[in-house]
Amino acid sequence: MINLRQRIWMGRVFFLLLLTAAAGIEARENDGTLGLIQTPNNGVPAIVFAGKTFDAVLTARAELKLAAADKEYPVTAEFAPLPGGRYRATCSLPPDAPAGTYSLLATADGKSDRNDRAVFVRAESPEYYVIGHLSDTHVGREGLDAAARGVLDALNQSEAAFVIVTGDLTDHGEPEQYRAFLGILDTCKLPTFVCPGNHDRKADNYEQFFGPLTYMFTFGPDGYLAFDTMDYAIADDLGPQNGLLEIYRRALKPCRWSVGLTHRYDPAMGMRSQLILFIDNPLDFLLFGHWHRENTQEEKTVPWGGTRISVVPAALDGQFRLLDMTARGLLPRPVQKIEAK
């Protein structure tokens, strides 16, 4: 005989299984890769201020909704075709959607998709704010995932407006490591922006899980440009990134401060990208990781001058940094280290 307590327990398990299965069907693809909705996603989210629009990239024209914990809000969107059969949707923020964290829901041709932690609605565009910066989580390296969770937990308690994760998200770029990274990333309550590192390069797995290697966004009066510094000492002037860097850098010129986000800076990253970002229209700041240490006083700028750098030690060692974005520029605070549990 099954008693009442056992029935309640079994009911809870069944409900949890149902939720998990539903999440598996709707949120991204079953294997964790991006589906109908490419961006925004939990690694390339949209932060939207009242009265503004945000862009989504989809593999088909779709009906879109924003979903909070208790309510869904239909989104009106204008679609424009992109190469490869994709569409850019310029989405108007529903006027009744209050500030908060939203999933983006899409339905097209009987298929539905859901990107959680994709859209963050904010009431006001701030002049002063704080950024959380971590890097080199190397998820998949044995016994170190707890450090990344601890860092994100500490950032949840901080006053950061958003978090950037500058590459080496995984240890070998394998799909199961990306899935494990997503599980850790989603413990963060703040918007999280990611870019790829040299350890994440395995076929096109990064693009399958997060979409673009190069993208820009604005927050308050400031502009941010995330880009891929590619593999060691191969000057990648061959692919599409340099064109996008020029287009995005131009688009961010009117911003108060311009900030580059990448995994590392190395003079071997390719001269064309350095001409665009550090010589012709120098970024004001460049944030990166890779070194597993912070930069010294002698390493304050890129060799071309102009662009100031801030390097954060590895999150796998439990380290991260908060930076104040002010009218005087981006001011890094001392590196913090979480206590090992």
Partner 1 sequence: MNMLAFVIVSACCAAAPAGQIAFVSGPDQEDQCVCVLDVASAAVTRVGTGAGDGAPRWSPDGAWLAFDSRREEGVGIRVVRADGSDGRALKHKYLWNHEPRWSADGRRLVYAADPKSNMEQVAVVYDLETDTETEWNGGKPGLLRPVWLPSLKLMKALNPDQGFTWEGVDTDKFVLEAFESGALVAIGLVGEPGKYSTEPWLITTSQAAPILQLLTKDSLRFAEWAMEPDPEGERIAFESNEGGDREIYVIGKRGIADVTNHRAADWNPVWAPDGKWLAFESFRSGRRGVYRLFPDTARVFRVAVQDNADCWSPTWSPDGAWLAYVSDQTGDAELFARRVNTEEEVQLTHQPARDYAPAWRPEAKP
Q: Are strands 53-58 and 37-39 parallel, antiparallel or unpaired?
A: antiparallel
Spatial separation of the C-alpha atoms in residues 186 and 164, rounded to whole Å:
13
| Residue among 159 and 204 whose Cβ is closer to partner 1 | 204
Spatial separation of the C-alpha atoms in residues 153 and 163, rounded to whole Å:
12
State the minimum distance, in angstroms, from the CB of residue 305 to partner 1: 5
State the minimum distance, in angstroms, from the CB of residue 87 to partner 1: 11
State the minimum distance, in angstroms, from the CB of residue 109 to partner 1: 19
How many Cα atoms occupy the beta-carbon half-sphere of 49 within 13 Å? 9
State the minimum distance, in angstroms, from the CB of residue 72 to partner 1: 31
Q: At what angle do helices 175-185 and 145-156 cross, to 10 degrees?
A: 30
SS3 4: helix
State the minimum distance, in angstroms, from the CB of residue 141 to partner 1: 21
Question: Cβ(293)–Cβ(335) under 8 Å?
Answer: no
| Residue among 181 and 248 whose Cβ is closer to partner 1 | 248
Which among 262, 240, 245, 272 is positioned nearest to 84, based on CA atoms? 240
| Residue among 18 and 234 whose Cβ is closer to partner 1 | 234
Unique residue bearing structure tokens 């950032």: 155
| Residue among 107 and 208 whose Cβ is closer to partner 1 | 208
SS3 254: coil
How many Cα atoms occupy the beta-carbon half-sphere of 318 within 13 Å? 9
State the minimum distance, in angstroms, from the CB of residue 230 to partner 1: 6
State the minimum distance, in angstroms, from the CB of residue 81 to partner 1: 7
| Residue among 5 and 253 whose Cβ is closer to partner 1 | 253
End-to-end CA distance of the chain: 42
DSSP 8-state code for residue 262: -
| Residue among 209 and 219 whose Cβ is closer to partner 1 | 209
Contact residues toward partner 1 (CB under 8 A) are: 80-86, 201, 203-204, 230-231, 233-236, 238-240, 242-244, 246-247, 250, 266-268, 271-272, 275-276, 279-281, 300-301, 303-305
Spatial separation of the C-alpha atoms in residues 230 and 213, rounded to whole Å:
10
- The residues that bridge with 332 in the sheet, in sequence order, are 323
| Residue among 78 and 127 whose Cβ is closer to partner 1 | 78
